[in-house]
Structure 1
Amino acid sequence: MISPRLRALISSVSIVCSTAFAAEQWGKPGGELRIHERAVHLESLPMGPFAKLPDGGLVTVDESVNALVSRDDGRTWHTNRIFAEPDKFEIRPERAILGTREGMVIVAFANNAERGKFRWDVKTHDTRGKPHLPTYVVRSVDGGKTWERPQKMHDDWTGAIRDMIQTREGTIVFTSMMLRHKPGRHTVVTYASRDDGRTWQQSNVIDLGGIGHHGGATEATIVQLADGSLLMLMRSNWGKLWRCVSKDDGLTWHPMGPGTIDASAAPAILERLQSGRIFLAWNRYYYEGTKDFPPYGGDDHATGTPTSVQRRELSIAFSEDEGRTWGEPIVVARAPKSNGVWLNRQVAYPYVFERRPGEIWLTSWPGGLRVKLSEEVFTGPLGRPHVIAFGDTSTARRGNLAIYPKQIREIMRERGRSIHVSNAAEPMQNTASARKVLQDRVLRRQPRVVILQFGINDAAIDVWKDPPAKGSRVPIGKYEENLRHFIAKIRAIGARPILMTPNPLAWTDNLKKFYGKPPYKLEDPNGINEFLNIYAVVCRKIAADEDVPLVDVYRAFKSRTDKLLLDGMHPNQAGHRLIAELLAPVLLEAVD
């Protein structure tokens, strides 16, 4: 959904960026763009999206009336006509394609041949009349050789069609858009088919309000989560990708509000990888390393609020926890520069395709990006110091909470150091269970630094059990032995360990319910830390004996648990920020 007016504005923007990361010679040439040094340019590849055929071939469509089929991994392409009446159809660049598990090929597209005039009235903040740009679906049952008659889904103006998936239950779902009026704005809608694309059901219309010829909710991408629900991320003008969830295979959607991902007014694309990770490609709100971008809109004509139209850098990120949190964004392509000024290029509207496990093809409409990425390479350190956080419930991911492994990346970046942080913690992990997975989760990944924080799950006495436990889950002697073992093994691979004491706990009604029995002292405000304190003392002793840097979280939290804990046990946002700030100088010294 790129109007001539918006294209002209983006083309006119010339930004001089002073950061080292934005140097003219960043990356390497990739067509008309600069691409990441570890990306591979694919010269002969057409624009995606792509779908796999049952025989291993590939299929896509062009920006006209043809299906393109390749039998040699995308090096050459054979053309098949899609429409019996080609003068009545023209496939727009924003489209979606799917190869189903049953062998069907389905294409969803907006028909440019029926496109009406889109004329914006600055007085009414709406279009003059109701322009048409219909959504269609067309299906092939023989691998793209022949095609059935197209089915029209709706006549409303379709700003863009961006994504199509098949759920584990077999339902096919694709995203589309509808223009709404009084005031003029865009909305998102999906269509779902439970019979291999023969018939379709429309979802509820996702209308987030807004105003303007580029206002409202637009250009959605979807992925199925582990629990069976569908996650949708929509382009918005509010600086974030907007989230929606469906629990009935795309028939009804429930807006959840803005996510944590900053984004310009440009669409993202999601993909579930064979590894289980979720891949995201999008244009961030700001250029890498900056905090400014000329605003667009805010006049109730283009948009109701000023927004960024940053489309000169394309970033990727990976999620390992079903989209709750994302790894550090990595710029994989950007427009070239001359004498510090951006040239007239964009790299936006990405399409992603996992050709084979771990091999990601990323293409774009504006900019002509055509690259191959290795999942293993781009989920690794990429030459940056690799830091692994290995711990228990305080270190493990917790929903959208910005835990210290995430915050330390940001602090280090502010201090001029880029690091790669992996989180190898688990909520119920203690030193005994962690010892069993040390090799697989930590050592084999060859980190430079390993942060160790254990104690809460080791010291706990499960008095809530029947019969009640009489001792800690991991005895203090075994706890000490395990920590010393971790230190020795980490040093044996040439890495540096950092020890952190556990954070203290605080009584809450829920903790009293489970732990308000002897030997814990319920009447003592600090009674829940009766045994945890001993583990913190041992942790300090080990740090001194082994000459390991120590971050004493226990002492830093001790008099402020009411302000630093989420639920009496886990650090809240402020608590994780404090841990990250205490850790930063120690980590800076360790990675140098």
Structure 2
Amino acid sequence: MRTTVVSTKGARQWQGIPGIERAANGRLWVTFYSGGPKEPHPDNEVLVTTSGDDGATWSEPEVVASPPGATRAYDPALWHDPAGRLWLIYNQANLETREFTVWAMVAEDSGAARPRWSAPRRLEVGAPFAVHLNKPTALTTGEWLLPLTWGRYAPETPFPRGHELQGVVISTDQGATWRLRGEVEAPPWALENMVVERRDGSLWMLIRTGSGALWQSVSEDRGESWAAGSPTGIVNPGSRFLIRRLHSGRLLLINTPDPERRRRLCAYLSENDGASWSGGLELDGREKVSYPDAAQAPNGTIYAVHDCDRYGPGEIVLKVFTEDEVLAAGEAGGQRAD
């Protein structure tokens, strides 16, 4: 496993919440957000940095979304759609006007050091409160599903705790329009859900909660409706996790296997669509590590990012590893997923 520090906060007061993607020519992109003294704050803004040498060195982070006035930009995600376009999806929020919206910029040339981003565009998701963080899922049947936490009203605070719902917005026209589906309930601080398509065609949603474990829901109709939420056996302290399908067909889970504290990040693999997990490769054994995201190269190499100590050094950390390393950790007695 190879480790590189992508960025530290330097003169910024804090930074964190990263996302990663890899262009077809190998160029890596990482996004995160910072701005102001903390999060949430009206001065929050989204930055990107890039590497043209497989993650060895990185450009100076550049601000790409910084709305005016009391509106903040936060929780960015990077995603290559099936056509190869790079999407930067992020949220905007303004407590004065009680607006909570999802926005996107798209680049056709993500292999370039300075791609041409489209103008920011609001995604109409059909909810008065909406917050997004994780990558969309492109189904084998062609639909795109963007995971969403939403509310029936716009709160006076940054988050409608106790009234949040988990769902997806579905696009059948390559992201031009979206329709909201799903109102899954889970314990408070439910947010940052992710969706994978299982081999039988059903969709599996995992949900961060404040209960000490991830919750789940299943859709049997390509996201149009979702079963009631239920707990999984996957321990989590109420922090972002990552689940995604790898080229091998396995599922990759990166998670914090502690019910209370954001310490240690570990990687696991599943051969059976999440029924059981193997591996337990420790990616980072420190305290205050959180918010993993990952991309995969055609040769199977996994590129994962996370943050560490947002208000201290504010590290954005890159880990490069293989499925074999994850499996070997399990054979050596690595950390269990449940």
Asked whether the equivalents of residues 185 and 216 of structure 1 are also in contact (C-alpha less than 8 Å), the reply is: no
TM-superposed CA distance for 1:222, in Å, is 1.7
**1:233 and 2:211 are equivalent in the alignment:** no
Q: Which residue of 276, 296, 303 corresponds with 1:354?
A: 296
Give a deviation string over 1:67-117, Cα, whole Å, max 9, x none.
54443323334877756x85377531x332211121222222111xx3317
* 1:163 aligned residue: 135
Asked whether the equivalents of residues 171 and 193 of structure 1 are also in contact (C-alpha less than 8 Å), the reply is: yes
Asked whether the equivalents of residues 162 and 175 of structure 1 are also in contact (C-alpha less than 8 Å), the reply is: yes
Matched residue pairs, number?
298
TM-superposed CA distance for 1:419, in Å, is 8.3
**1:141 and 2:123 are equivalent in the alignment:** no
- Aligned pairs for 1:202-351 (under 5 A) are 202-208=180-186, 210=187, 215-255=188-228, 257-285=230-258, 308-327=259-278, 329-335=280-286, 345-351=287-293
Name the CA distance, whole Å, in 1 between partners of 2:281 and 2:192. Answer: 22
Name the CA distance, whole Å, in 1 between partners of 2:7 and 2:248. Answer: 24
**1:173 and 2:145 are equivalent in the alignment:** yes
* 2:22 aligned residue: 52
Name the CA distance, whole Å, in 2 between partners of 1:90 and 1:116. Answer: 9
Asked whether the equivalents of residues 201 and 251 of structure 1 are also in contact (C-alpha less than 8 Å), the reply is: no
Higher helix proportion: 1
Asked whether the equivalents of residues 102 and 131 of structure 2 are also in contact (C-alpha less than 8 Å), the reply is: no
Q: Which residue of 327, 331, 334 corresponds with 1:379?
A: 327
SS in 1 for 2:228: strand
**1:198 and 2:176 are equivalent in the alignment:** yes
Name the CA distance, whole Å, in 1 between partners of 2:291 and 2:64. Answer: 24
Computing the radius of gyration from Cα coordinates, the structure with the larger value is: 1
Distance 1:245 1:201, change over 3 A: same
Letter in 1 for 2:106: R
RMSD: 3.3
Gap regions ≥5 residues in structure 1:
1-38, 118-129, 286-307, 336-344, 385-417, 422-592
TM-score normalized by the length of structure 2: 0.75
Name the CA distance, whole Å, in 2 between partners of 1:266 and 1:62. Answer: 16
Give a deviation string over 1:108-140, Cα, whole Å, max 9, x none.
2111xx3317xxxxxxxxxxxx95432223333
Asked whether the equivalents of residues 31 and 77 of structure 2 are also in contact (C-alpha less than 8 Å), the reply is: no
TM-score normalized by the length of structure 1: 0.45
Distance 1:184 1:145, change over 3 A: same
Higher strand proportion: 2
Name the CA distance, whole Å, in 2 between partners of 1:79 and 1:267. Answer: 23
Name the CA distance, whole Å, in 1 between partners of 2:7 and 2:308. Answer: 15
Name the CA distance, whole Å, in 2 between partners of 1:198 and 1:180. Answer: 23
Asked whether the equivalents of residues 312 and 346 of structure 1 are also in contact (C-alpha less than 8 Å), the reply is: yes
Question: Greater relative contact order (Cα 8 A, min sep 6): structure 1 or 2?
Answer: 2
Name the CA distance, whole Å, in 2 between partners of 1:147 and 1:66. Answer: 16
* 2:156 aligned residue: none
Name the CA distance, whole Å, in 2 between partners of 1:180 and 1:251. Answer: 18
Give a deviation string over 1:276-320, Cα, whole Å, max 9, x none.
1111011123xxxxxxxxxxxxxxxxxxxxxx4320122221101
SS in 2 for 1:205: strand
Asked whether the equivalents of residues 108 and 135 of structure 1 are also in contact (C-alpha less than 8 Å), the reply is: yes
Asked whether the equivalents of residues 279 and 330 of structure 2 are also in contact (C-alpha less than 8 Å), the reply is: no
Letter in 1 for 2:58: T
Name the CA distance, whole Å, in 1 between partners of 2:334 and 2:267. Answer: 16
Letter in 2 for 1:107: L
Percent identical: 19
Distance 1:54 1:363, change over 3 A: closer
Name the CA distance, whole Å, in 1 between partners of 2:216 and 2:252. Answer: 16
Name the CA distance, whole Å, in 2 between partners of 1:71 and 1:331. Answer: 27
Name the CA distance, whole Å, in 1 between partners of 2:335 and 2:137. Answer: 31
Q: Which residue of 35, 52, 58 corresponds with 1:76?
A: 58
Name the CA distance, whole Å, in 1 between partners of 2:327 and 2:227. Answer: 31
